[in-house]
Amino acid sequence: MLILIGQTFYKLIISSALYSQIMNFVDTHTHLYAEEFDADRKEIVEKAIKNGVNQMFLPNIDVNSIQPMLNLAWDFPEHCFPMMGLHPCSVDQHVEAHLFQIRKWFKKRKFWAVGEIGLDFYWSVEFKEQQISAFKKQILWAIQDNLPIVIHSRNSTDEVIAIIQEMKHPLLRGIFHCFSGNAQQAQQIIDLGFYLGIGGVLTYKNSGLDLAIAGIDLKHMVLETDAPYLAPVPFRGKRNESFYILEIAKKLAIIKQAGVQQVANITTANAYKVFGFHDIENGSQ
């Protein structure tokens, strides 16, 4: 592997097979249960595993996504780990009924986080107050159950940070999924003890994410794909998949002037810490 630090020229002489032998990646956020993978889901998961993406965490969306997500977790119990929560874009006038159904699942089996939860003011603010209420309620679940939270914060990062500050608790921890904020927000997030979820946006020209995380140590970051969305360059515009996390790791290595091996080691250790390494190692589902 050849990395010329401080220069625009960057080359990796390494095969995918070699990656799988020496590196272990964790995709902390992937929707591999989505209908976009119905035709080749098994092959996509096996491809990721073969290339070193050994743990994939599955965020829930709403009551309709629960069973597809759990089916995938049952098919790959040593590699796919489900979360449980209500996505802010699924919040509507029936939010209390949705939350009631979702909460019951925590008594049925193990989940690795409360997620994905949060606020989304990009598409609509019609149910803004309901989103805030649902977010706070699910944060309380996480504290009660001693689980991390995985946060969606589109067009709402400041509001989400304010809520986390308001509800600060020794057990409150987790990941700001798909972080795309500025440097000040990044610092506020890590000061709260949360991790930054770094995905394909990092590879986009002029995204500004490289500048936002320039002063943030790798020990505060985890990797994610958000598959099937937000595929990294050179796959931008296509269906994303967990295998593509290698492209995100390579870009992060350039920005941090580090080796890809170092990025893999640190971000994987961070993921194990936030989700619970020993339980993963024991294959507890």
pLDDT of residue 17: 44
Cβ contact 149:115 at 8 Å: yes
Task: Evaluate if residue 188 carries a pLDDT over 60.
Answer: yes
pLDDT of residue 282: 45
Domain assignments of the chain as residue spans, ordered by start: 16-281
Going by the DSSP 8-state scheme, the letter that residue 11 receives in this structure is B
Q: Please, what is the average pLDDT of the chain?
A: 91
Task: Give the rounded percent of residues in the chain with a pLDDT score beyond 70.
Answer: 89
Task: Evaluate if residue 215 carries a pLDDT over 90.
Answer: yes
pLDDT of residue 81: 98
* Entry pTM: 0.91
Structure tokens at 154: 């589109």
CATH number of 16-281: 3.20.20.140
| SS3 state of residue 198 | strand
Task: Evaluate if residue 228 carries a pLDDT over 50.
Answer: yes
Distance of alpha carbon 26 from the chain centroid: 9
Tens digits of residue pLDDT in 122-160: 989 999 999 999 999 999 999 999 999 999 999 999 999
